[in-house]
């Protein structure tokens, strides 16, 4: 048996991880099991990307992220929703978004936000389109009946 010296911090983290794995698997685990579990569930990212992520989190605490892991999980969830094609995403520059928000507020429009403005515009156009389709269908039906 070989001995490996680890810091108290690493020991505490491994012990916590052992508890989590034991609870999940319902069987006793060793440090080796915990390390293998961590390695099998790990993703390696370049140090520059990790530093950029941490700097972003530190500079934007108001967004609510407290750890890189939390930020990365949220980014992955967003990307998966995007790639599953369940929604479409429209990009608007931050500058234009802020100008539109200011216009909405200055002009005392009935919209609560830019998102509300866009949502209402989409719904309005879809309702108009449905009405147009109905008129087109009625016209085609009338045209067909008049020829028979």
Whether the pLDDT of residue 20 is over 70: the answer is yes
**121 or 44, greater pLDDT:** 121
The verdict on 146 and 113 lying in the same domain is yes
Q: Is 113 inside any structural domain? A: yes
The verdict on 58 and 103 lying in the same domain is no
Asked if residue 106 and residue 75 are part of one domain, the reply reads: no
Count up the domains in the chain and report the number. Answer: 3
Same domain, 123 and 145: yes
The pLDDT of residue 9: 84
Predicted local confidence at residue 15, as pLDDT: 82
Query: Could you tell me if 84 and 95 lie in one domain?
Result: no
Residues 12 and 50 in one domain: no
- Asked which of 49-53, 90-94, 108-112, 141-145 is least confident by mean pLDDT, the reply is 141-145
State the Cα–Cα distance between residues 119 and 125, nearest whole angstrom: 10
Mean pLDDT of the chain: 87
Within this chain, do residues 53 and 66 fall inside the same structural domain, yes or no? yes
Least confident of 3-7, 103-107, 111-115: 3-7
Tell me if 62 is assigned to some domain: yes
Residue range 115-140: average pLDDT? 94
Instruction: Say how many CA atoms lie within 13 Å of 94 toward its Cβ.
Output: 0
Indicate yes or no: pTM above 0.75: no
| Residue 77 structural domain | 45-89
95, 147: one domain: yes
CA dihedral of 121, 126, 129, 135, whole degrees rounded to 10: -120
Does one domain contain both 13 and 23? yes
| 73 φψ region: left (φ > 0), alpha (ψ -120 to 50), beta (else) | alpha
Provide the Cα torsion 112, 118, 122, 123; round to 10°.
Answer: -10
**2 is a domain residue:** no
| Cβ neighbours around 86 below 10 Å, total | 8
Please report whether residue 1 resides in a domain: no
Same domain, 105 and 130: yes
User: What's the residue count for the chain?
Assistant: 148
Q: Is 141 a residue whose pLDDT tops 90?
A: no
The reply to whether 3 falls in a domain is no
Domain shared by 72 and 118, yes or no: no
Residues 100 and 142 in one domain: yes
pLDDT over 70 at 27, yes or no: yes
Position 1 confidence tier, pLDDT thresholds 50, 70, 90: low
């Amino acid at each position: 048996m070989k001995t490996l010296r680890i810091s108290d911090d690493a020991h505490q983290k491994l012990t916590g991880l052992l508890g989590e794995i034991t609870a999940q698997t319902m069987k006793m685990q060793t440090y080796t099991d915990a390390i293998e579990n961590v390695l099998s569930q790990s993703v390696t990212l370049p140090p520059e990307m990790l530093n950029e992520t941490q700097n972003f989190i530190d500079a934007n605490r108001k967004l609510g992220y407290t750890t890189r892991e939390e930020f990365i999980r949220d980014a992955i969830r967003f990307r998966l929703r995007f790639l599953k094609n369940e929604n479409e995403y429209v990009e608007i520059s931050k500058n234009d978004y802020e100008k539109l928000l200011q216009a909405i507020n200055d002009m005392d429009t009935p919209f609560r936000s830019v998102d509300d403005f866009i949502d209402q515009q989409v719904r309005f156009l879809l309702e108009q389109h449905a009405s147009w389709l109905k008129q087109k269908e009625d016209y085609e039906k009338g045209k067909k009946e008049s020829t028979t």
